[in-house]
Amino acid sequence: MYEPSVSPVNPMFVCLCLSGMNAAVRATVRVGLYTGAKVYFVHEGYQGLVDGGENIKLATWESVSMMLQLGGTVIGSARCMDFRAREGRMKAALNLVKLGITNLCVIGGDGSLTGANQFRTEWSTLLVDLVKAGKISDDEAKTSSHLNIVGMVGSIDNDFCGTDMTIGTDSALHRIIEVVDAITTTAQSHQRTFILEVMGRHCGYLALVTALACGADWVFIPEMPPDEGWEGHLSDVLSMGRDGKPIGSEDIKKLVEKNLGFDTRTTVLGHVQRGGTPSAFDRILGSRMGVEAVMALLEATPETPACVVSLSGNQAVRLPLIECVQVAANTSLFLLVLSRSFENNWNTYKMLAHINPPDSKSNINVAIVNVGAPCAGMNAAVRSAVRIGIIQGHNMLAVYDGFEGLAHGNIKPITWTGVSGWTGKGGSELGTKRYYIISLLLLSLYCQLIKQSAAGTKRRVFIIETMGGYCGYLATMAGLAAGADAAYIYEDKFGIRDLEMNVEHLVQKMKTDVKRGLILRNENCNANYTTDFIFALYSEEGKGVFDCRKNILGHMQQGGTPTPFDRNFGTKMGSKAVLWLTDKLKEVYRHGRIFANTPDSACVLGMRKRALTFQPLAELIEQTDFEHRIPKTSWWLKLRPIMKILAKYNIMQYNDITIITSSQKRGCMV
């Protein structure tokens, strides 16, 4: 193999998007340009890499503007038979060498990433063949002696080993849930049974999570094939069988109609699941993955193995590409790995889907009360808690109207059927007197509509005030998802000089092809720098360059139906809470009395990385800012530099790692 060149060469970077998340493309391009690299688009996937010419084009900062809200991939994707042959890969190598490209970022599924790994493995021999054929010189071969590759997993199936979530999965769940909600109203109105077929290939993630989110009566997934005699069980209650016989939607339809006489309809979603506007989660995930991918390429050496950027416990990590691909290709090993994450979802679904009368009653009354503002996902948590409690033999009681209802004795028994259909309902069915998870989705969508409005009217800046109390999570994450120019929050102190710098940044931005701006402000970020003050300042300092509009979103952020994440998160939280209560009651029940006097008898259930964790309230005292009702440390604050970098601010720190500039890195990047 030729030795890598040590002479300074203009860095180059190429983004090849196969499955297509535009947020990842945007982040990859902008961070690449930010480091001084030359960035290339490869249009139409591997086919564009093989054909070369106009399919490989320089990317600019402006070329990835206003693309966060677009589904699919703006640079196109195509299946390529030519790339599967060595001759095709040789053409691709020739095109890259001629442009001086030695770094490749690939966004796709296991097939695309497998092809990328094979391309990298053959790279040195491809160069030898190109030199022998006289298509490249020895100097060109030496300059491009090594190919660095980093992958990002784009797949709606969430079927890749090593990552908690793939780009595109959450958006697909949104499309499915939208259809389920629409179908549910028809099913209830006409008393029909609906059979819904979703995509997912050999992975049942989409089907299982959808079943949890909508309270489906039955779900067929390849990881958990039905037992012998499932036909009779299905009839009593209302993909692939263990004997290897396929189970199709029409088979189930005929069974239901024959055994039960129900009016039955089948809906096959197909590629509807792949389209539509990306969710806030996918936009943020794609942005984070894109930044990490560039970092991986900048830090790569000839000895560095090809890696894939993954999400593990809410952290962006790099895993060896070849190992992940090999596990995904090994079906039995892949199912073993998946079973660890599938087990909780599957067990929760089995408990909630079908009535299983307890062997004995516990004679323990468990009351459920909603406090704080009614939040999306709260009804899903109540439904889960009630049904799990009934299964455990408890007497379940519902407290209506929060603590006020508790004081006035507004308490009623609640049954299994009493919570039917609650997962998809917003707000709180039990009522409450005062926290919203769905706010992020609404904020992202609203900000995107604002940006589209600004795109129609040039030289305009929108200033939006968000809720959240003193917590800047919503403003920060919505800013990252919508591509905001700035997000003012209480946790990140700012002053008049920061405001002046932001105004100057927008003035310079209006001189480019991107003549619009978006500013977010948390409602309590600063007592003096109010929304009106910032609006007046921007209007005055931007006079003659841009005009301003302000919007205070208010309580519209608290409305709407729960997202798939909120429904499933609430369901699992409710289930886990009641099971924990049951175990604790067994521990402290002695001589007919309950002794709940230990610190761990009062806990808060929350998510830490990838696990639902119970933490005693006493331990949270040191971690909480009670005056402002926020944690003393927040993980998401580390994401704020990403937002600033993608908005073209001069920030040299990302996640405590100094970003390498082109002057520090020698060699050629694609």
What does the block give as tokens for 162? 């090593």
What are the φ/ψ torsions at residue 507 (nearest 5 degrees)? -60, -45
Give, in order, the Cα–Cα distances in Å from 445 to each of 38, 48, 69, 520.
32, 33, 9, 13
What are the φ/ψ torsions at residue 319 (nearest 5 degrees)? -125, 150
Strands of 177-291 (E only): list them. 193-197, 264-268
Quick check: 463 and 548 in contact, CB under 8 A?
yes
Quick check: 545 and 510 in contact, CB under 8 A?
yes
∠ Cα 213 215 221 (to 5°): 80
Helix (H) or strand (E) holding 38, with range, is: strand 38-42
What does the block give as tokens for 394? 């408890």
What does the block give as tokens for 298? 């900048």
Quick check: 563 and 438 in contact, CB under 8 A?
yes
Strands of 173-217 (E only): list them. 193-197
What does the block give as tokens for 618? 């006493």
What does the block give as tokens for 190? 């006409």
Quick check: 606 and 616 in contact, CB under 8 A?
no
Q: H/E/C letters for each residue in 437-461? A: CCHHHHHHHHHHHHHHHHHHCCCEE
CB-based contacts of 89, cutoff 8 Å, min separation 6: 50, 83, 118, 119, 122, 126
Strands of 157-254 (E only): list them. 193-197
Closest CA to 18 of 160, 180, 204: 160
Q: How far apart are the first and last CA of the chain?
A: 19
The SS3 of residue 327 is helix
Closest CA to 205 of 168, 240, 157: 157
CB-based contacts of 330, cutoff 8 Å, min separation 6: none
Q: Which residues pair with 396 in a beta bridge?
A: 366
Quick check: 652 and 658 in contact, CB under 8 A?
yes
What does the block give as tokens for 208? 């299982």
Cβ-based neighbour number of residue 304 at 10 Å: 15
* Amino acid found at 438: I
3-state helix, strand, coil in the chain (%, to 5): 45, 15, 35
What does the block give as tokens for 311? 């999400």
Provide the phi-psi class of 20: left if phi over 0, else alpha when psi is between -120 and 50, else beta. Answer: left
Pairing mode of beta strands 395-399, 411-413:
antiparallel
* Residues noted as catalytic: 157
What is the DSSP code (8-state) at residue 296?
Answer: H
Give, in order, the Cα–Cα distances in Å from 361 to each of 358, 388, 390, 393.
7, 13, 9, 4
- CA–CA separation, 136 and 127 (whole Å): 8
Cβ-based neighbour number of residue 519 at 10 Å: 26
- CA–CA separation, 208 and 218 (whole Å): 10
